[in-house]
């Protein structure tokens, strides 16, 4: 369960979000809806620790994420997957290398096992055979399909 | 106040680099990649510049030594010492600040703007350790090597120009190179190369990592990184010379 309590984020002299609270229970699909520029992305980035909130706290399973040290945050982040607005794919790497990156970094599996996992994922997002393509060769939708960043692609 | 803010963020960046790698093999791969980019990627321009620096030094030294009382071998001594003490480390590193420094700043800037760095952080990777540390270590290894190559090529370029234009016979040049040689000059040049390598890699990494905005800001950050690196190289050059070179 993720709890957001009275989050406030200020950039310069502009308050982007103020006193935002929410409870996101496990197994539920939660939506954050708001007009353009209302701070949805800022809230998301505060929740995953990419931004430091000026006030308030974020709790993961009751533990205060905002007060955690870098190492503890890293452990929590290993459980998070995030789809970025701008794709966030590594331009100089192929689709296969992009998908395989977290596996190379965090698992000790053989190349064959990792490749099977990559192909499985690509099949799920209708990108079969796109292994050797570069992000610049993919359409916007195809990039989004591949973009979700997590330890278990 | 901005300058203190920048210095503080720079020091935090340096501090943030030192953490345990998630996967040593991936870090090693990145380090080798950076060695190739910084070292071999700049070798061509360094070679061309070094040969011409040496050649021009020989011609200009000969032009200024008009007294018949000064032996021609002095030209070789002057070329050797200016190339080793100043041209090879300082001039080559200023060029490298442009070549390697702008590449580091724009690469990291582009990764920051396109949220690639955020994506790495979400995966639990310390981006400062994974992206910046291998660049700095690669620079500390490759730039002194490039400077050593520049010394040799500069002195050889001087000989080439001297012989080709009839200023000095090859044998006299070679004899002059061995006269009054001070080995400490080479050590001093390598000390400078290490200091400059740190500047060339860490300053552009700082400007690239903290860039905000879009393509225009990446360009600005890249330019600022090169300008600041060049100024710091010249400043460090003066400080090191004043501290390490004994003057009468």
pLDDT, residue B91, reads 94
- Of all residues in chain A, the percent with pLDDT exceeding 90 is 20
What is the number of residues in chain B?
A: 248
Interchain contact B121–A (C-beta under 8 A):
yes
Let me know: does B144 contact B196? Beta carbons within 8 Å.
no
Q: Give the single-character DSSP code of A135.
A: G
Helix axis angle for A95-106 and A140-147, nearest 10°, is 10
- For residue A91, which residues of chain B lie inside 8 Å, CB to CB? 110, 114
pLDDT, residue A145, reads 57
Distance from CA of A132 to the nearest CA of B (A): 20
pLDDT, residue A151, reads 56
Average pLDDT over residues A139-153: 60
Phi, psi angle pair for A56, to nearest 5°:
90, 180
Instruction: Inform me whether the pLDDT recorded for A89 exceeds 60.
Output: yes
ipTM of predicted complex? 0.79
- Measured distance CA(B178)–CA(B155) in Å, rounded: 12
Average pLDDT over residues A102-108: 87
Average pLDDT over residues A92-105: 89
CA angle centred on A115, ends A113 and A118, rounded to 5°: 115
Instruction: Inform me whether the pLDDT recorded for A148 exceeds 70.
Output: no
pLDDT, residue A142, reads 67
List, in order, residues 6 or more apart from B45 with CB less than 8 Å away.
B95, B99
**Which residue in B123, B209, B214 has the most chain A C-beta atoms within 10 A of its own C-beta, making it the best mutation to test that interface?**
B123
Residue A153 pLDDT class (50, 70, 90 cuts): low
pLDDT along chain B (248 residues), means of 10: 88 90 89 94 94 95 86 92 94 94 95 90 88 95 96 96 92 92 93 96 95 91 95 96 84
Residue closest to B126 by CA, chosen among B49, B29, B18? B18
Residues 88-107 of A with CB under 8 A from B: 88-91, 102, 104-106
pLDDT in tens, A117-134: 999 988 888 888 888 898
Residue closest to B75 by CA, chosen among B204, B165, B172, B190? B172
- Measured distance CA(A34)–CA(A57) in Å, rounded: 21
- For residue A105, which residues of chain B lie inside 8 Å, CB to CB? 22-23, 26, 123, 125
Interchain contact B26–A (C-beta under 8 A):
yes
Burial (0-12, 13-18, 19+ Cβ within 10 Å), B110: middle
What's the pTM?
A: 0.86
Distance from CA of A91 to the nearest CA of B (A): 9
Q: Which domains does chain A have, with CATH numbers?
A: 2-77 (3.40.50.300), 95-147 (no CATH)
pLDDT, residue A128, reads 85
Average pLDDT over residues A74-84: 81
């Amino acid at each position: 369960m993720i709890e957001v309590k009275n989050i406030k984020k200020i950039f310069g002299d502009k308050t982007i979000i103020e006193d935002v609270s929410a409870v996101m229970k496990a197994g539920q699909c939660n939506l954050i809806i708001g007009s353009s520029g209302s701070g949805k992305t800022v809230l998301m980035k505060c929740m995953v620790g990419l931004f430091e909130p000026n006030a308030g706290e974020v709790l993961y399973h009751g533990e205060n994420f905002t007060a955690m040290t870098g190492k503890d945050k890293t452990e929590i982040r290993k459980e998070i997957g995030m789809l970025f607005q701008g794709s966030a794919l590594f331009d100089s790497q192929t689709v296969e290398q992009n998908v395989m990156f977290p596996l190379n970094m965090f698992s000790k599996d053989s190349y064959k096992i990792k490749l099977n996992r990559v192909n499985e994922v690509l099949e799920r997002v209708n990108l079969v055979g796109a292994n050797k393509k570069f992000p610049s060769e993919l359409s916007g939708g195809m990039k989004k399909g591949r973009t979700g960043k997590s330890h278990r692609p | 106040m901005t300058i203190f803010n920048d210095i503080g963020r720079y020091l935090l960046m340096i501090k943030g680099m030192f953490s345990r790698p998630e996967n040593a093999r991936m870090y090693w791969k990145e380090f080798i990649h950076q060695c190739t980019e910084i070292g071999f990627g700049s070798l061509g321009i360094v070679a061309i510049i070094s040969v011409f620096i040496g050649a021009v030094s020989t011609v200009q030294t000969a032009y200024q030594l008009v007294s018949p009382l000064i032996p021609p071998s002095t030209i070789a001594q002057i070329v050797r010492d200016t190339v080793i003490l100043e041209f090879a480390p300082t001039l080559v590193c200023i060029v490298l600040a442009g070549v390697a420094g702008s590449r580091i700043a724009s690469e990291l800037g582009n990764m920051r703007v396109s949220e690639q760095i955020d994506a790495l952080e979400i995966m639990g990777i310390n981006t400062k350790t994974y992206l910046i540390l291998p660049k700095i270590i690669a620079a500390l290894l490759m730039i002194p090597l490039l400077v050593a190559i520049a010394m040799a090529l500069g002195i050889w370029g001087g000989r080439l120009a001297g012989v080709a234009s009839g200023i000095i016979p090859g044998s006299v040049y070679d004899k002059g190179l061995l006269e009054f040689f001070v080995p400490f000059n080479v050590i001093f040049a390598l000390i400078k190369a290490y200091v400059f390598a740190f500047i060339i890699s860490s300053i552009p990494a700082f400007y690239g990592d903290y860039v905000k905005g879009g393509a225009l800001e990446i360009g600005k950050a890249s330019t600022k990184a090169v300008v600041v690196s060049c100024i710091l190289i010249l400043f460090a050059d003066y400080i090191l010379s004043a501290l390490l070179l004994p003057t009468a």
